[in-house]
Amino acid sequence: GQRTFMFRCNNIRELRRCMRIFIKEPGTIEWIKKTLKSGDVFYDIGSNIGVYTIFAANFVGEQGKIYSFEPQSANFSRLLDNIDVNHFFNRIIPCNLALNDKKGYFDFIYSDYDSGSAHHQLIQGNKNKANGDDYKIAELKYATTIDDLIESKKIRPPQHIKIDVDGNELLILKGMSRLLKHTDKPRSVQVELDKDYKEEILDFMKSNNYFCKEKHYTAAGIKKIEAGQNPEQQVCNAIFYEIE
């Protein structure tokens, strides 16, 4: 049937994200449409203002649940507003915390204060060495793991997971190692792969009995490939399924 959703936009970045929901990552849209069923639990890790969170909520229905993780304060505020305008209070649980491979307090660096912005990052070491000092401020933020949240019964185990955090994907995956080996393991996991750590993620997922069945590029990546650039040098989204 017909699915409807709305967004409130406070700036041009937010408007661009919402207007390009079906253009920026068509592979992500198709994956959500193809895999999410009524009653499913979906983790959107790195949800920004909630574009894919809101879209996915249409598919899980009243019995399903979306856990939407976004640590950047301005983005999280806009995520809350978009949940409100769509009346998805019972379907979406917003989580304003960072995820990692271990629990504790870490520096979370902001590349920008505005909502709709990206490339903010939880860092493990000296904040003065992060991103060549190309950040505005570092917030002291508590981080935890997916395994801890599930085992403490704060969140339900997921059927599907999307991870797009601009750099810490592998650490977040390591923080759900027990989930990936559990009988309630997710049916599919989509992870953004950067060329610098792609092989590490592929190896980690293989060690947990998951294989990359599909991969897709952003609209910008497709243009670069069509212009003759090496596909292996482009960021892509890999969709992993359990090896049967």
At 98-155, the pLDDT tens digits run 999 999 999 999 887 777 677 778 887 655 544 445 667 889 999 999 999 999 999 9
Q: Decide if 175 contacts 103 (C-beta within 8 A).
A: no
Is 149 within the bounds of a domain?
A: no
CATH number at residue 199: 3.40.50.150
pLDDT (mean) for 179-198: 93
Residues forming a β-bridge with 163: 45, 191
118 found inside a domain: no
Residue 5 located in a structural domain = no
Mean pLDDT value across residues 192-205? 92
pLDDT of residue 2: 63
Average pLDDT over residues 2-24: 88
Considering the domain boundaries, does residue 203 fall inside one? yes
Whole-angstrom distance, CA of residue 170 vs CA of residue 192: 10
d(CA 113, CA 119): 11
- Whole-number pLDDT of residue 130: 47
CA–CA gap between residue 102 and residue 175 (Å, rounded): 6
pLDDT value of position 117: 73
Range of the domain at 212: 12-96+157-242
Question: Is 102 among the domain residues?
Answer: no
Residue 84 CA to residue 225 CA, distance in Å, equals 39
pLDDT of residue 126: 55
Looking at the domain assignment, is residue 207 inside a domain?
A: yes
Per-residue H/E/C for the chain? CCCCCCCCCCCHHHHHHHHCCCCCCHHHHHHHHHHCCCCCEEEEECCCCCHHHHHHHHHHCCCCEEEEECCCHHHHHHHHHHHHHCCCCCCEEEECCEECCCCEEEEEEECCCCCCCCCCEEECCCHHHHHHHCCCEEEEEEEECHHHHHHCCCCCCCCEEEECCCCCHHHHHHCCHHHHHCCCCCCEEEEEECCCCHHHHHHHHHHCCEEEEEEEECHHHHHHHHCCCCHHHCCEEEEEEECC
Q: How many domains does the chain have?
A: 1
pLDDT: which is higher, 23 or 136: 23
For residue 46, pLDDT over 80 is answered with: yes
32 has pLDDT over 60: yes
Q: Is the pLDDT of residue 221 over 90?
A: no
Question: What is the percent of the chain with per-residue pLDDT over 70, rounded to a whole number?
Answer: 94
* Type of residue found at 79: L
Q: Confirm whether 199 is domain-assigned.
A: yes
Residue 130 located in a structural domain: no
Share of the chain above pLDDT 90, in %: 71
pLDDT interval class at 234 (50, 70, 90): confident
pLDDT tens figures, 53-111: 999 999 999 999 999 999 999 999 999 999 999 999 999 999 999 999 999 999 999 88
User: 201 phi and psi, to 5 degrees?
Assistant: -70, -45
